[in-house]
Structure 1
Amino acid sequence: MSDADDFMTRYLNNITSQYESSRFKPEYEPAEPETTKVTCRDGVELTVDIFRPATPGPYPTIVVRCPYPQQVELWKLHGEHLNRRGYAMVCEWCRGTYTSGGTWEPNVNERNDGADLLAWCEHQDWIDVIGLWGTSYLSLTCWTVADITTPKVASICANHYGTDRFASAYQKGSFRCDVLTAWAMQNAGYPVDADYMKSALHLPQMSVDEDMWGGRLDWYRDWISHPKDADAYWDEGFWGLLKSIPSKVKVPMFIHEGWFDHHLGSALTGYAALNEQVKEHSWLRIGCWNHYFLNPLEGLEPKHLDAAEVPAALEWFDLTLKRKQTPMRQVEYYEIGSDSWHVADSWPLPSAGADEVRLYLKSGELTDEAPQAASAAEYDYDPANPVMTRGGEALLTTMDEIGARIQPEPGWRDDVITFESEPLDHDLHIQGAISVDLYVSSSAPDTAFTAKLMCVDPDGTARNYRTSITTIGLDTPDAAPYKPGEIRRVSIDMWGICWMVPAGSRIRCDISSSDFPQYSVHTNHAGLWSEQTGTQVAHQTIHMGGATPSAIVLPVRG
């Protein structure tokens, strides 16, 4: 059995367990599934699998749209379990995938095709009310029609996707290759047998499709050609449309996210953009899990993690489809460290960042007070020998490294500089987006700096809880070109988190210049990263104390 088959078997078993452990027990028998075709406005026919209970309808109906043929058995399983709980399910296979007609091109056809499916559903007398449901790309297909829903659509449950594609693609100039390079290979529209790691390292990245994958993918070239948030590409066409949708949504939404999901930042942007009337009737739930709703905390088994997508969705659809009630605003979030769930009235939390703790970098230490004397830490960064990812949030394909992983001891590499605090004398509740403000210089005309923030247990075990990266050239997009040797202040911005660091623990921060494959490897050359054809070694300096007070900025609960 391949690793992919083994994962899918375990995933299917997990889904079954979630249905069986939910409070919603089987009451109906499923009928035999049916397959039909729905004709789109341009004449292309898409395959639709229909799952209904054996008892007469009409039924509350879950509608999903999927581009992944490897999930055929998954949606058969969902269909059977939903039927047994009184729901029908419609699963349409996206254009150019599985047995659907047309040509596959990611994203751009989902709005019209989704609208055509909903129009078809309106004319099916066995459909009572509709709930849209999906995770990852299937959540994207929900978002693309969220502002043009038809009368039968009562609610949407969108897991692990958002409406700001740039936030899921880049971090201050560095491409999230473990998400998008890998996804492009898996969803090219034709088989790609090339090695993923070699593909992600290929120079120039702009031609990796033709050089290694067997064909040109213009949509992938578009992604890797626009590393700036201000690039018009992200505000025009499909991505511009997607950004505009949340403010126009009219039905209640349940946005379900995880602290270690690579779409977290984008999803929270989507929630924030919902109009207030819709927010009054929507749910936001943020838990401690990864993109696959799995426990991301290596060596830890919190009792209250509750990383289960199915029971939460069933609660939502029972309320909005079966009981046909209007939900009231609900914000739930999990605090890592205290293993506790909390309820709030809004998001972002009013208390997030109410106070601020600064920990200053000083010769291997993190101190409460800024050092008066200036000092520096130096290392050489060689792109040919990048630091390999060990734990992180922006991961999809390198599954074993997603989340908070146990870290190597300080000093494990010469190009990873560690700073560590004294043991905390009280619990520290971090609530909001952490940043690491560094004063740096480099021998290169452009380069990258990474930060990994960790909790060190009293026994010395260290786990990462937030990581990020910046590039000198794009840390401040409108800054003047960097001159080698110049000291410049950069901010390594991290996604928000709710995290309690317990008393007796230490905070550790590792600084380096690469974190591959979570982020693309910086070549130490200036210019568009995807057009670089070679690399060079850079001598890096972190400046501390005096007029260059490098520090970690922790937003804490007031």
Structure 2
Amino acid sequence: MNAPVPVRANERVAGWDGTPLALDVQLPEPGAWPVPTVVTRTPYGRSGHLAEGAGWRRRGFAYVVQDVRGRYDSDGTWQPYHNERGDGAALADWILKQPWSDGRLVAYGGSYAGHTAWALAAERPKAVRAVVSMGPSMALGRTKFERSGILRLAEHAAWWVERADGRTSRDGLTALLFRECPELLDHLPVMDLADRLGARLPGWARVIENGPDHRAEGPDTSELAHLPAAALHIGGWYDLLVDEALEHFHHAGSALPRRPSRALVIGPWGHDLGYAPGTRIGDREHGPQGRLDLGALQVDWLRRVLGGTGRGASETTVFTVGADRWRTGASWPPPSTEAVWHAHPDGTLAPQAASADGDVRFRYDPADPHPSRAPGVDRAPLAARRDAVRFTSTALEAPMTVAGNPVVVLNADSSAVSTDWIVRWNEITADGRRLELAHGSLETRHGRDAGPYTIGLTPLDITLPAGSRLQLELTGSDFPRLARSLNTGADRYRGTALAVAEQTVRTGPLDGTRLILPVATTEEPTP
């Protein structure tokens, strides 16, 4: 007798309203049935998960991957972040009726598929025993905008050009467009950019119109806190969604009397996490110790939580950049103490406050915005630009480990009706490289805001060696990563007129501009 084929490709299962949705199933030998099922729902084409599915099958899991509504072989029209809860629930109900299902589901996915995983867990909390969430992209408002509310212009353009408003992805179109038209994103108004981006993109402007507070389908903080599924949260320090991974780790299951098992893994990775071929991000090399076998880690964790061992446990595996070692424990960030570094009018950054008040000024011209650099790339070529102020420390006498979210207290004013403040904490290495460690942003308006302003920076875990210097850098733009302020008070997405702003940063002994660092007080990270 011939052995049964382990793959069932191009199955069709009805979504919540009867729309046929395409999926592939990979199954272990029938003698092993019933088994738990790993479920991925993706807008990026289920064929990209064939090898992954085979890996799960060989390890004793069923694997189901589905094209979301309106993508690739699934019928209907794709509206990003819509229909995923209902369609995920319909798929779960179908799986639970199959003879190979033991009734236990693992919601699994990264980026947009991270959203569909959490949507599935929220809809079928009794069946979803575990979530594996990798750099989850939870909503357009949360992914396309900074926490400050400023549009991530380059990310929105790149993703929409290649992914949205179509049944299939247009891989490589972004690189082609910007190679041929490198100043494409300079165009104003921003709302009209869709007409210049090389694809028909009717949904481009709607994202901007809806803004950062647009309600999403995914579970909100309260619903997340009541989910009973165990959860493995994976992120990368260079991923713009690392905040999401950390937020989910801290909130998921937190309102339950007995919190479910949870684990956190954060590595020296971008949005492709530990699956990238190299160990370098920009001009920072993390070495082979920055690699993890994420597949083996996921299987081991799932077997433990599905088997009932370590129930309720919390475990973290976090890479400390600079030390290039993994810190393990039950929580993150580790215990820390605040170290305050004060800006001085002579451009220095020091643990002592300035003895007298002083102002430092720069001009921000949106016609020549301060440019962005890719994550990890040396910023030294921008050091000569005068549209920034920089406060730099002397060389550290001993290593310093910072773990958590730095904060900048900014005492500043602008001649503009409205303007942006881009705050960046850099390391100046002993060999002269200027590497961004963390950043934040803020929009201010005359008559509406009053400083000093508290700006939270992106999280990190890093050991700075003796000889490095700390630098606090303030600019008026980070373009094209962020849509620039026009300085006129007009809507930055609809306006075209520009105004030059005179920006003033205040230093002083009482309420001057300062950088607050969470300096870890625990032992060195575990090798």
Q: TM-score, normalised by structure 1?
A: 0.81
Question: How far does the alpha carbon of each residue in 1:132-156 deviate from its partner, in whole angstroms, 9 at most, with x for none?
Answer: 2111101110111212326543211
Q: How does 1:113-512 map to 2 (within 5 A)?
A: 113-128=87-102, 129-149=104-124, 151-161=126-136, 166-168=141-143, 169-190=145-166, 195=177, 200-209=185-194, 212=197, 215=200, 217-218=202-203, 220-225=204-209, 231=213, 233-234=214-215, 238=217, 241-276=219-254, 277=256, 279-293=259-273, 294=276, 295=279, 296=281, 298-321=283-306, 323=307, 325=309, 327=311, 328-349=313-334, 351-352=335-336, 354-390=337-373, 401-402=374-375, 404-408=376-380, 411-473=383-445, 480-481=447-448, 488-512=451-475
- Output aligned runs, 1:531-546, within 5 Å: 531-545=494-508
- Residue in structure 2 matched with residue 396 of structure 1 by the alignment: none
Contact conserved, 2:225 with 2:253, CA < 8 A, in 1? Answer: yes
1:528 positional shift: 3.4
Q: Distance in 1 between matches of 2:513 and 2:284?
A: 32
Q: Could you report, residue by residue, the CA deviation over 1:530-558 in whole angstroms, capped at 9, with x for unpaired residues?
A: 22233222222222235652111112224
Indicate conservation of the 8 Å contact 2:146/2:152, yes or no. Answer: yes
Asked whether the equivalents of residues 304 and 340 of structure 1 are also in contact (C-alpha less than 8 Å), the reply is yes
Alignment partner of 1:529 is 2:508: no
Change (3 A) 1:199 1:97: farther
Tell me the distance in 1 between the aligned counterparts of 2:223 and 2:193: 33
Distance 1:416 1:32, change over 3 A: same
> Between the two proteins, what is the percent identity of the paired residues?
24
- Which 5+ residue runs of structure 2 have no aligned equivalent? 522-527
CA contact (8 A) 1:363 1:376 kept: no
One-letter code of the match for 1:378?
A: R
Q: Where does the alignment leave 5 or more consecutive residues of structure 1 unmatched?
A: 1-27, 391-400, 474-478
Cα distance change on mapping 1:421 and 1:164 into 2, 3 Å: farther
**Whole-Å separation in 1 of the counterparts to 2:4 and 2:54:** 9
Match of 2:360, SS? strand
The 8 Å contact of residues 333 and 403 in structure 2, kept in 1 or not, is answered as no
Aligned pairs (5 A) from 1:62-141: 62-69=38-45, 72=47, 74-128=48-102, 129-141=104-116
Residue 181 to residue 63, structure 1, CA distance change in 2 (3 Å): same
Separation in 1, partners of 2:300, 2:4: 21
1:382 and 1:51 mapped to 2: Cα distance? 57
Structure 2 CA distance for partners of 1:342 and 1:297, relative to 1, 3 Å = farther
Q: Match of 2:72, as an amino acid?
A: Y
Instruction: Give the secondary-structure state (helix, strand or coil) at the position aligned to 2:493.
Output: helix
Give me the whole-angstrom Cα distance separating, in 1, the residues matched to 2:310 and 2:89.
Answer: 23
Partner of 2:497: helix, strand, or coil? Answer: coil
Report the secondary structure of 1:147's partner residue: helix
**Within 2, Cα distance between the matches of 1:339 and 1:518?**
28
Which amino acid counterpart does residue 311 of structure 1 have in structure 2?
A
Give yes or no for contact 2:115–2:139 (8 Å, CA) kept in 1: no
CA separation of 1:243/1:213 partners in 2, compared to 1, >3 Å: closer, same or farther? farther
Query: How much has 1:439 moved relative to structure 2?
Result: 2.2
**SS of residue matched to 2:410:** strand
Mean Cα displacement is larger for which, 309-318 or 29-38?
A: 29-38
Deviation at 1:505, TM superposition (A): 1.4
Rate the CA distance shift 1:258–1:539 in 2: closer, same or farther, 3 A.
Answer: same
Change (3 A) 1:261 1:410: closer
What is the CA–CA distance in structure 1 between the aligned matches of 2:121 and 2:133, rounded to whole Å?
Answer: 10
Q: Which deviates more, 76-85 or 118-127? A: 76-85
Offset at residue 325 of structure 1 (A):
4.2
- Cα RMSD of the aligned pairs, angstroms, is 2.9
Look up the SS of the partner of 1:260 in the other structure: coil
Rounded Cα–Cα distance in structure 2 between residues aligned with 1:63 and 1:264: 23
SS for the counterpart of 2:323 is coil
Query: 1:332/1:308 Cα in 2 relative to 1: closer, same or farther (>3 Å)?
Result: same
1:31 aligned to 2:6? yes
Give CA-to-partner distance per residue, 1:83-133, whole Å, 9 cap, x none.
Answer: 233332111000000010001100111000000000000011112332221
2:406 alignment partner, SS class? strand
- Structure 2 residue aligned with 1:549, among 490, 512, 517? 512
The question of whether the paired residues in 2 share the 8 Å contact of 1:162 and 1:268 is answered with no
Higher relative contact order (CA 8 A, sep 6+): 1
Task: Kindly indicate whether the alpha-carbon contact (under 8 Å) linking 1:523 and 1:534 is maintained by their aligned counterparts in 2.
Answer: yes
User: Could you say if the C-alpha distance between residues 307 and 159 of structure 1 is closer, same or farther in structure 2, counting changes exceeding 3 Å?
Assistant: same
Hey, what's the Cα distance between the residues in 1 that align with 2:99 and 2:356?
A: 77
CA distance in 2, matches of 1:326, 1:116: 31
Give me the whole-angstrom Cα distance separating, in 1, the residues matched to 2:380 and 2:88.
47
Superposition deviation, residue 514 in structure 1: 1.3
Q: CA deviation at 1:447?
A: 0.9
Q: CA deviation at 1:162?
A: 6.0
Q: Secondary structure at the match of 2:6?
A: coil
Contact 2:165-2:202 at 8 Å conserved across structures: no
The answer to whether the Cα contact below 8 Å between 1:200 and 1:520 also exists between their aligned partners in 2 is no
Equivalent position of 2:477 in the other structure: 514
Could you state the TM-score of these two structures normalised by the residue count of structure 2?
A: 0.86
Partner Cα separation in structure 1 for residue 154 and residue 201 of structure 2: 20
